């Protein structure tokens, strides 16, 4: 294709350098926007017909031609050309080939600048909805598992040291809350994605009497963008999505780290399904938690995309610049990565098997009920700081005796503080410790079951919060 054959070739007298043509083309990766480019073009054609730029016959021909092109793309029959640079020009050239001069009229009152910005928003809007569906599947799996394991006692950690006993159900609900914040952020991000740039044209708008609100309605946008300069150059929505995706991957990385620890022989808290693990080529005994490890690793990939998009935009003057072609690949990969990681976890978590007795045995280590003994003394009238010192001495005695606090004789405890009575052993048991924390947000089994029901209700109230049909 000569320069004169290109849609913008009238001003040029020399052909584009072959390397430059390949270097500047984006069709190799932006062709995934094709369904959205066609969707936006159909809406644009109908708006042009509404304001009298296109006749009814021209509009029908354009819509029919675009639908045929979509069929060709979905059927793998469409011939993509690097010489035509991008998805937009490939589709427009094929449309003109199919329907003649009417196809050349489609680009009236728009530019590739507002066209690509519209396509990306349409695509990202749908991708956010798909990610929300995966979030729902994972959150639902966590709630179901939390309900089943509401009575399962495990150690709670701070500094990765045994701190206090908690229930496994309560721990899973902490994961749920992280994802719920992710859901709320995505929904808020989606609201800013759902603004239509189309009609801004290259940067200054258009002299045609276009009806941007009509086009926005056809495409399901909440409203048109308010400023034409900002409309074509804004990529805040992509950066914001990458930030949301980074937080999701950070949370999944934390979940992954715990699963990797918990499946080790040293912890041995849970068993992952074989379908989500692999073995070793040399050590036959190995069962490696590859899915959690890989998800943990992919977090850095998405963090990098966020930094890349921020760097891409940090020094751009208004309005559109060719730099913005570099927004797509990191955004595409961030979407693909976060959706795949959520899917992996949503598929895996229903089949995670906790090892209840091992968890409970681990909770008996490290004097997890020491704080319960201090709280017991406070209820007996001992000032907390004095109670703290008394319990510290009790822990030292138990360490020297090689036993748990609950195994110290009553006489030994009373020697430390006469206020201690026989009822002290009720608070020194793991069951008594977790059962006492029945307040809102606490770890008591009864509170966990209530929290699961409340979480299900909260989840259902937000858009995209109901599990997809059939799951």
Would you name the residues annotated as active-site residues?
159, 280
Joined together, the tokens standing for residue 130 give 């798909």
Sequence-separated (6 or more) residues with CB below 8 Å from residue 340:
none
Of 337, 321, 340, residue with least CA distance to 329: 337
How far CA 126 is from CA of 99, 109, 131, 221, 335, in Å, comes to: 30, 26, 9, 12, 11
- Cβ atoms of 194 and 125 closer than 8 Å: yes
- Cβ atoms of 42 and 63 closer than 8 Å: yes
Q: What is the DSSP letter of 152?
A: -
Element of type H or E holding 167: strand 161-167
Alpha-carbon distance of 305 to 341, in angstroms, equals 16
Alpha-carbon distance of 332 to 58, in angstroms, equals 34
Distance of alpha carbon 402 from its chain centroid, rounded?
47
Distance of alpha carbon 103 from its chain centroid, rounded?
39
Bridge-based pairing of strands 195-196 and 223-224 is parallel
Joined together, the tokens standing for residue 389 give 């010192």
Joined together, the tokens standing for residue 160 give 């990765």
């Amino acid at each position: 294709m000569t320069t004169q054959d290109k849609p913008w070739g009238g001003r040029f007298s020399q052909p584009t350098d072959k390397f430059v043509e390949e270097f500047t083309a984006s069709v190799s990766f932006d062709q995934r926007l094709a369904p959205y480019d066609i969707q936006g073009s159909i809406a644009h054609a109908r708006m042009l017909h509404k304001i009298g730029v296109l006749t009814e016959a021209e509009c029908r021909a354009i819509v029919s031609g675009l639908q045929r092109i979509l069929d060709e793309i979905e059927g793998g029959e469409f011939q993509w050309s690097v010489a035509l640079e991008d998805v937009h020009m490939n589709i427009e050239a094929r449309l003109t080939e199919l329907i003649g001069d009417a196809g050349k009229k489609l680009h009236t009152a728009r530019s590739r600048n507002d066209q690509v910005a519209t396509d990306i928003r349409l695509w990202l809007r749908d991708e956010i909805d798909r990610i929300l569906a995966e979030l729902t599947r994972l959150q639902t799996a966590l709630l179901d598992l939390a309900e089943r394991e509401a009575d399962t006692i495990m150690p709670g950690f701070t500094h990765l040291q045994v701190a206090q006993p908690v229930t496994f159900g309560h721990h899973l609900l902490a994961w749920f809350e992280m994802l719920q914040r992710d859901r709320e952020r995505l929904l808020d991000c989606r609201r800013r994605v759902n603004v239509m740039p189309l009609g801004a044209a290259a940067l200054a708008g258009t002299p045609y009497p276009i009806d941007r609100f009509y086009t926005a309605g056809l495409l399901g946008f909440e409203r048109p963008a308010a400023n034409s300069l900002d409309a074509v150059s804004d990529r805040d929505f992509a950066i914001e999505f990458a930030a949301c995706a980074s937080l999701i991957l950070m949370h999944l990385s934390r979940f992954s780290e715990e699963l990797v620890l918990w499946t080790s022989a040293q912890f041995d808290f849970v068993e992952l399904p074989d379908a989500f693990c692999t073995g070793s080529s040399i050590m036959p005994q190995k069962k490696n938690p590859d899915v959690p490890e890989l998800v943990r690793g992919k977090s850095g990939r998405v963090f990098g995309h966020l930094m890349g998009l921020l760097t891409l935009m940090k020094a751009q003057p208004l309005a559109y610049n060719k730099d913005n072609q570099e927004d797509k690949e990191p955004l595409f990969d961030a979407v693909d990565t976060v959706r795949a990681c959520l899917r992996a976890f949503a598929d895996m978590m229903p089949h995670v098997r906790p090892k209840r007795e091992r968890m409970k045995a681990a909770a008996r280590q490290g004097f997890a009920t020491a704080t319960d003994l201090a709280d017991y003394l406070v209820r007996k009238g001992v000032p907390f700081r004095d109670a703290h010192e008394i319990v510290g001495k009790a822990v030292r005695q138990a360490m020297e005796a090689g036993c748990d606090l609950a195994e110290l004789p009553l006489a030994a405890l009373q020697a430390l503080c006469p206020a201690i009575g026989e009822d002290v052993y009720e608070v020194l048991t793991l069951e008594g410790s977790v059962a006492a924390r029945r307040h809102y947000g606490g770890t008591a089994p009864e509170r966990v079951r209530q929290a699961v029901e409340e979480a299900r209700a909260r989840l259902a109230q937000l858009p995209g919060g109901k599990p997809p049909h059939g799951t």
